[in-house]
Chain A
Amino acid sequence: MFDFVAFIPRAVAQSIPLLFGSTGETITQKSGNLNLGIPGVMYVGAIAGVIGGFLYERACGTADNMNPVLTILIPLLCCLLGSLLMGLLYCFLTVTLRANQNVTGLAMTTFGVGFGNFFGGSLIKLTGADVPSIALSATSNMFRKTLPLAKTTGWFGKVFLSYGFLAYTAIVISLVAAYILKRTRTGLHLRAVGESPATADAAGINITKYKYVATCVGCMIAGLGGLYYVMDYACGVWSNDAFGDRGWLAIALVIFTIWRPDVGIVSSILFGGLYILYLFIPTGMNLAVKELYKMLPYIVTIIVLIITSMRNKRENQPPASLGLSYFREER
């Protein structure tokens, strides 16, 4: 019998970084910016949080001296700041200077991964540890605090209550994002900017402002995904390259959800589940089979792409001016 009570919490924990990443990327793409730098942004968000947490833990010395509020707040703010800077860099290059979005994004991913690994490596040297990783267990314990009921309510607590606060934040953020996109004036304007900037401009919408804000907010949300991964999922252990290809998976998830953050909640759990399915299915010692299972999320994305392209429904297509820069006086 497949053990759902064990599987679901694992799948959810796996899904939260993807959900943060895809919500952030969806908001960004709705403004017409195809930010392929999201994997890099998530790395930077993670390492920025780690640096903040590391310095605070060192300053305090022992876990008893640490203020619970500051323990959460410092890594959180560091993470948001790091991702915001990445977002500003992307916007400056693509919106203000009108550089090619694909090239900029890919460069930022390379940069972000390198940045993360460089500072991760530096911190590891500072600690002088034998293993190539840093463990911020005190900070992580704060991030992993669950509701007191989780332990006492049996399978219900395990499936629904056993997560740190960032997991619930991710779900709230995607619900709020879905509401804003669909129901508010700001969302309407944002969608118009991504579909047809010339139209939005002629309607008196400030294109540059919307692109900057959407992209930067998107990056900050995605950055939280990186923070969640280190502080909660990985129990505060940073080791280089551990985050892996989750950033790309988040971008695939944007397509899978046909640009709807609320759909992202369920589908990220599906992705997360597919991603770790190999742990729950007896594959024997054959490692190659495990790698095949890891391909599942991408295969599902390709299938969704095929289906939405075939149905050719206009609402399910990417924002029409995705990847294009806008200049009002272009002739």
Chain B
Amino acid sequence: MDKTTPAVALRGITKTFGPVVANDHVDLDIRRGEILALLGENGSGKTTLMNMLSGIYYPDEGQIFIDGEEVSIRSPKDAFDHKIGMIHQHFKLVDVLTATENIILGLEKRGRLDLKAAARRIREICDAYGFVIDPDQKIYEMSVSQKQTVEIVKVLYRGADILILDEPTAVLTPQETDRLFAVLRSMREDGKAIVIITHKMHEVLDLSDRVAVLRKGQYIGEMATKDTNAQEMTDMMVGRSVSLNIRRPDPVDPKPRIVVEGLTVRSPEGVLKLEDVSFEIRSGEILGIAGISGSGQKELLEAIAGLQRVESGDIWYVEDDGTKDRLIGKDPLEIQKLGVALSFVPEDRLGMGLVANMDLSDNMMLRSFREGHSVFTDRKHPHDLAEKVVDELEVNTPGVSTMVRRLSGGNVQKVLVGREISSAPKVLLTAYAVRGLDINSSYTIYDLLNRQKEAGVAVVYVGEDLDVLLELADRIVVLCGGRVSGTVDGRTADKNEVGLMMTRLGGGKELA
């Protein structure tokens, strides 16, 4: 393979969304037989740039060369014709269709639809790269990592040799991530060009050959991975020096604050979501909750916040003087008044907690509108609070009267967490508080949580990134399929051990 001509060369690519410049004259080379890591903070335009390669967006300015020839990619179909395949962060799969149907979707071929032949070719591809999927399985019956495999097979089926993966590991367990990386490495050996977008530094160092950095839509520079380190890359992304160590102050006078005993929760469909879960949340401490997504984290936090019907078990709120209040049976408002704050960031970030079409100060008001005796709402305090949150958390927004919908993901999360903290809670429940956030914003959130902990708040942190959990949390409760697989000390626990506990109760050996 000719290594001198890049597989893809972007020259002077510019894309604007209204007044926002997402990409500003970006130049980038993607080479064959190489894994390129594309780095940048949230809103730095990585995904936008790659979407222009995959035909989702069309650049306002600039040229795209493929193997030295200028091309115009006007639609996803054009991208396939140039053998470019993108695996989006949010899977582009139709739930009610089978794997095979999803994979051949959009392929224009003459003749009748031959699903059997397609399934045969899919099996061949799976065998070649060591994937395990059932072509006839429906997507909605699949796990996240199986869905991702379908996505990868989909682009391979189309004969793509330029692969773009947008945050592929965000939802995978460490073991699944290892398997994915092995596949990507074997594709690199095949001479494919691979671009991976990720926020996790250790993955960049582990997997990539070359690193390119974007900042605020501009191309900052590139370097060989072996010549750089996490600190340098982060500094380039942020534009100034940042400390990469997560602080973990010692717990402040830990006392039981919330005691969960034998909690069992069923979904409305009757599926067991939590089974006999017991643990305690202590003040002045960060309790991490680890687990594959969908292991009952959501139900657990909602049960504590009074939003979830509980089948059996008890949840107690313990006052400073030792008196116990029973939380089950109380409505969410009463629980909030006790000082339990829930900051839950669902997958779509906006589903719970914030109203997308309302501005910042109105969203602050969602917490306080019941206060006061007048029939009119108090708009001044929420407005001030919004300005304070924007100011202290460095929320990037044109003003407090901007609709939340218009903010980027990281800023939305800062607003949500900022509001919850402002109510001076005794217990702060956070789920996926840094989901999809870049390093800098994540560290701002970690620091916020630590400051709450030092103020004596009992903090619960449900997280996906085990590295962070192990650095941030004092204790970690590991959930597996709705049951407590074990509780470990954050200071001494080992990542692989926790990873195993996430997939099997107690972390026993894999069944052959």
Contact = CB atoms under 8 A, between A and B. Distances in A.
* Bind each other: yes
Interface of A: 183-185, 188-189, 191-192, 195-196, 198-205, 312, 314-315, 317, 320, 328-329, 331
B54 A331 contact: no
A195 B97 contact: yes
Interface in B44-59: 54-57
A183 B102 CA distance: 14
B375 interface: no
B115 to A, nearest CB: 9
Given A202-B88, A204-B80, A189 B105 contact: yes
Given A196-B93, A202-B86, 11 more contacts: A185-B107, A188-B101, A188-B105, A188-B113, A192-B106, A195-B94, A199-B93, A204-B77, A315-B96, A329-B56, A331-B17
Where chain B touches its partner, the secondary structure class is loop
A188 to B, nearest CB: 6
B138 A192 contact: no
Nearest to A182: B113
B105 A192 contact: yes
Contacts of A199: 92-94, 102, 105
Interface of B: 17, 54-57, 75-77, 79-80, 86, 88, 92-97, 101-102, 104-109, 112-113, 138, 140, 269
A184 B54 contact: no
B106 A200 contact: yes
Contacts of A328: 56-57
Contacts of A312: 269
Q: Which of A202, A314, A320 has the most CB of B within 10 A?
A: A202
Given A202-B76, A204-B76, A328-B56, A314 B140 contact: yes
B136 to A, nearest CB: 14
Contacts of B269: 312
A97 B102 CA distance: 29
B76 A191 contact: no
A203 B96 contact: no
* The 9 A-B residue pairs with the shortest CB-CB distance in the complex, in nearest-first order: A203-B106, A204-B77, A204-B106, A199-B92, A203-B105, A202-B92, A195-B94, A204-B76, A205-B106
6 contacts: A185-B104, A185-B109, A188-B104, A192-B106, A199-B94, A199-B102
B94 to A, nearest CB: 5
A184 B92 contact: no
B105 A205 contact: yes
A316 B80 CA distance: 32
Nearest to A193: B94
B404 to A, nearest CB: 13
Contacts of B108: 185, 204
Contacts of B106: 189, 192, 200, 203-205
